Every structure is written in C-alpha cells, then in structure tokens.
Amino acid sequence: MVDFSLSDEEKQVRDWVRTFVRKEVIPLEQEVLRRERANQPGLTADVLKELQDKAKASGFWGVQTPEEYGGMGLGAVMSALLEAELGRSFVQFRFGGHADNILYYANDEQKRRYLLPTLSGERKSCFAITEPGAGSDARNIRTSARQDGTDWIINGEKTFITGGNEADFTMVFAVTDKDKHSKGHTDQSVTCFLVDRDQGWRSEYIDTMGEWGPAALVFEDVRVPQENILGEVGNGFALAMKWIGRGRYMLPARALGACERLVEMAVEQANTRVTFGEPIANRQAIQWMIADSAVEIEALRWLVLHAAWVVDQGQDSRHWQSIAKLYGGVKANEIVDRVLQIHGGMGYTRELPVERWYRELRLLRIYEGTDEIQRRTIARNILKGHASVSGTLG
C-alpha cells in the first residue's frame, strides 16, 4: 500500500519549524529587504546566530548531522519537509550545527581542526571545484598541486565559490597526476586539499544578480603539508561527486516552500486588487495562472519527497534527484514570474519580496548542475536502461 501521510512525530517536527519560521524568521523580512537595498548583508551574522541559538534551545541543531556528533540525524524526507518550511521565507536562515558531508571522511586530527569547529560554528568552509574553464565539465579542472618533499604546492583559480569570501578554509580540488588527468582518468588524478586561508589563498567577491555573491579563489604557490589531504591522493573527484550528490533534493525542497508562499501572496493580491470594478481573481487569465501554479507545486512536492524517500531507502537516487532538481528549477521560475505578473507594477518594485525571489530562484537553474546537465543525466539513464519511465512502481 502506498501511504502518503506523515507520522504524528513527523508532523510535530514539521509544525515546530513552520511556527518558528512564521514567528521568528518572517518578521525579519522587511528589515532584510531594507538592508539589502542599502547593499548590506540582509541577515547579519549576529542575528543569524541568535536565531540559531533559539532553535537549538528547542533541540533544532545539526538537522542532518549524525547523532554521535550531537545532531538530530534526520533522514532525507524529514529534512526535505523542514527545508520546504524554511523556503517559505527568503531570509537566508539555516539551522546551526551543519558541516559539509565530505568532512566526515577526514581523519581524527582533521576532524578536530576542521569538522568539529565547523559544526560548532567557529569555522566556515567553502567547496571549490568550479574554475573559469571548467563548470559543468568539472572533469576539466586545471588547478594543480605539485609535490615538493612532504608538501604540496597549489596553483590555479577557482570561481563562483559560495561562501568563498567568508570562509576561513576551503576544500579545494586540484590535479595531482597530470599524466592520468590528460588521459581522462579523473577518478585517479584529482586530490582534495583542506587549505586554511592563512596558508595563502585569496578571494575576490563576484557581484551577481542575487543578494549574496560567490567568490573567485586564487592560489599562487600555496604550500600545504601532506596532512591537509582529505581522503587519499587521487580520490578527490569521488569526494567532489559525493559533495554534489549529497542532497540535490534539498534545493527544489527550498524552492517548493518559496512557491507555496508566493502563490499565497498571489491569491491575496488577486482577491483584493480591483480593476474595472471587480477583483482580478474573477478573471480567467488570473485563475489559470493560479491553477497551473497549484498543479505544479503539488507535482514538485511529490517529486522532492519521492527523491528524498529513495535516498532514505539507501537506493541509488541520482536519477530521481535530477528529476526533482530540474522540475523545481524550471517550475519555480515560471511560478515566480506569474506571481510577479499578478502583482503588476508592485511586483516589479523592491517594496515586495517577489522581485527578490525572482532573482534568487533563477540561480536554481544554474548551480549544482544546470537544467541541461540534469536533462543529460536523465536522458542517459533512460536511454541506457539504468532507469525507466515507469518509475519506482514499474
């Protein structure tokens, strides 16, 4: 039997986050918009910490962090449900106690220096694979690390690195075997290094159409000791794929929450805005925009939850995650466009969060695998018989 209901415990957890977002996060929105209009970070580090501490006092810390590290160790479905609740506000709130999944592959000493301080919020990391010449085609990276005694010397440039300006260490991917790399053996030629900012890399902010810009990272003869290698020499690409594949369902989950809130705003606007003597809600043109959005939100919900459920089953979820990410990116952009249209001129102003979401949701179609790369993955899986259009019930 297929059961679409949540357990009482799941509902309780979800409802706690829903209330937290309504009472603590949404009230900050106007101040965040005001600060962003003044080119300041919307949510300051102090306010974020204060919110995280409040959530922690109720046990919400390290949502996906294993319990042995003090986290909640929630599964994928529960995490997706919580992410959708957080997505109902554009304020960039996230729970404390999170660390990149690949830091758990660190040895004990590295865990002490990087993983634990990241979980406690003392240190900030960034994940650096993309380069000016290698984005979708990540296997084409050129940043290199040359061995010198027991040290490695890193040279190269990374680009579009989220948090790269704020991070005090990076997980950077560099070619350590040029010969194998030139023959396409990326699974043996790339290594991941944990590199502190004070070991010599620098960052430059990149202005984007979103509110928080990524950074370019520059490595010029940056010397790091052997003990800064994460995992094994040559297995960096596998780690990078683990990072990217850690939870693609989480991006469309956040977009799902945004779409729900946006359509609620559109409904309010449609019912109250009067033109030619009647609320615009009476017009079929507006009704169809709301109906299409409602159908797509429902479809997105089940794609996200299904992808997360496959993760929880311990099965290969890549195909389902690509489907959810592609659909979420495309539909969230169509929905925010309709909601902006329903708001008319006001939708285009910075008085309302609609235009902000319009710019932010655009990124979903680009990072962590563009629409085209998701389609490439989905088509390949089907054409090669790794997945079928009959889905998991097939």
Ligand X SMILES: Cc1cc2nc3c(=O)[nH]c(=O)nc-3n(C[C@H](O)[C@H](O)[C@H](O)COP(=O)(O)OP(=O)(O)OC[C@H]3O[C@@H](n4cnc5c(N)ncnc54)[C@H](O)[C@@H]3O)c2cc1C
Active site residues: 368
**What do you get for the CA distance between the two ends of the chain, in Å?**
15
Binders of ligand X among 27-56, rule CB under 6 A?
none
Which stretch of DSSP H or E encloses residue 191? Answer: strand 190-196
Which residue, 41 or 135, has its beta carbon nearer to ligand X? 135
Q: Is the dihedral of CA 176, 179, 184, 187 positive or negative?
A: negative
Which of 61, 95, 127, 249 forms a contact with ligand X (CB under 6 A)? 127
Stretch that binds ligand X, among 135-143, 224-232, 267-275, 323-331 (CB under 6 A): 135-143
Which residue, 79 or 165, has its beta carbon nearer to ligand X? 165
- Name residues whose C-beta falls within 8 Å of residue 75's C-beta, 6 or more positions apart in sequence: 308, 311, 312
- The reply to whether 80 sits near ligand X by the rule CB under 6 A is no
Query: Computed over its alpha carbons, how large is the radius of gyration of the chain?
Result: 22
Which of 65, 118, 130, 203 forms a contact with ligand X (CB under 6 A)? 130
Binders of ligand X among 160-179, rule CB under 6 A?
160-162
- The reply to whether 372 sits near ligand X by the rule CB under 6 A is yes
By the 10 Å C-beta count (0-12 exposed, 13-18 middle, 19+ buried), 383 is classed as exposed
- The reply to whether 204 sits near ligand X by the rule CB under 6 A is no
Alpha-carbon distances of 34 from 39, 128, 361, rounded to whole Å: 9, 31, 20
Alpha-carbon distances of 384 from 327, 376, 377, 380, rounded to whole Å: 21, 12, 11, 6
Q: What is the C-alpha separation between 36 and 324, in angstroms, rounded?
A: 30
Pair of tokens at residue 97: 């106690």
Q: Give least dist CB 141 to ligand X, A.
A: 9
- The reply to whether 129 sits near ligand X by the rule CB under 6 A is yes
Stretch that binds ligand X, among 10-18, 53-61, 245-253, 360-368 (CB under 6 A): 360-368
Which residue, 128 or 222, has its beta carbon nearer to ligand X? 128
- The reply to whether 308 sits near ligand X by the rule CB under 6 A is no
- The reply to whether 208 sits near ligand X by the rule CB under 6 A is yes
The answer to whether 202 and 233 are in contact (CB under 8 A) is: no
- The reply to whether 215 sits near ligand X by the rule CB under 6 A is no
Which residue, 55 or 326, has its beta carbon nearer to ligand X? 326
Q: Give least dist CB 267 to ligand X, A.
A: 31
**Residues at the interface with ligand X (CB under 6 A):** 127-130, 135-137, 160-162, 208, 214, 363, 366-368, 370, 372-373, 376
